[in-house]
């Protein structure tokens, strides 16, 4: 399964992470994004996911990297893109919490395993 993650930075250089509210990785933090639907580009999927989950428009800037991770229930190809917010977060549908975090502090949050691997790859 191809999954996109938006590495969304604010004007202060902090990164958005979100805590999963449901599912097998409930309570773990992740870079927001979601599954790429058939016929959809990575960019389209990211824009759709941010609108569905946060009511927020984003601009996808550039590809950052990708990792393959096998969870017990599925394997994912997690692909990260640097994104810029084009507005404020208006809602939260799939996450119990969100946080704007400095890069050096992201690893102190309990990240989903694929996101932890991705962080080690893309961290500045």
Q: How many domains does the chain have?
A: 1
pLDDT at 24 over 80: no
**Structural domain range at position 112:** 2-122
Q: How far, in Å, CA of 114 to CA of 12, rounded?
A: 26
The H-or-E segment that residue 51 falls in is helix 42-54
Pick the more confident residue, 24 or 46: 46
Look at residue 85 and give its three-state secondary structure. strand
Q: How far, in Å, CA of 49 to CA of 52, rounded?
A: 5
Write the pLDDT tens digit of every residue in 78-108.
Answer: 999 999 999 999 988 888 899 999 999 999 9
Contact residues for 77 (Cβ-Cβ < 8 A; gap 6+):
1, 2, 3, 66, 67, 68
The H-or-E segment that residue 22 falls in is none
Is the distance from CB of 6 to CB of 81 less than 8 angstroms?
A: yes
Write the pLDDT tens digit of every residue in 62-72.
Answer: 999 999 999 88
pTM listed for this prediction: 0.91
Look at residue 71 and give its three-state secondary structure. coil
Pick the more confident residue, 46 or 13: 46
**Residue 120: its pLDDT value, please?**
87
**Residue 58: its pLDDT value, please?**
96
pLDDT at 22 over 80: no
CATH number at residue 94: 3.90.79.10
């Amino acid at each position: 399964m191809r999954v996109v993650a938006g590495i969304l930075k604010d004007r202060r250089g902090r990164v958005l992470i979100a805590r999963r509210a449901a599912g097998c990785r409930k309570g773990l933090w992740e870079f927001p994004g979601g599954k790429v639907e058939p016929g959809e580009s990575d960019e389209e999927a990211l824009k759709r996911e941010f609108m569905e989950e946060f009511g927020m428009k984003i601009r996808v800037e550039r590809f950052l990297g990708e990792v393959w991770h096998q969870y017990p229930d599925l394997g994912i190809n997690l692909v990260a893109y640097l994104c810029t917010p084009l507005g404020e977060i208006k809602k939260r549908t799939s996450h119990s919490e969100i946080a704007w975090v400095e890069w050096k502090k992201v690893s102190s949050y309990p990240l989903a395993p694929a996101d932890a691997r991705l962080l080690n790859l893309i961290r500045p």
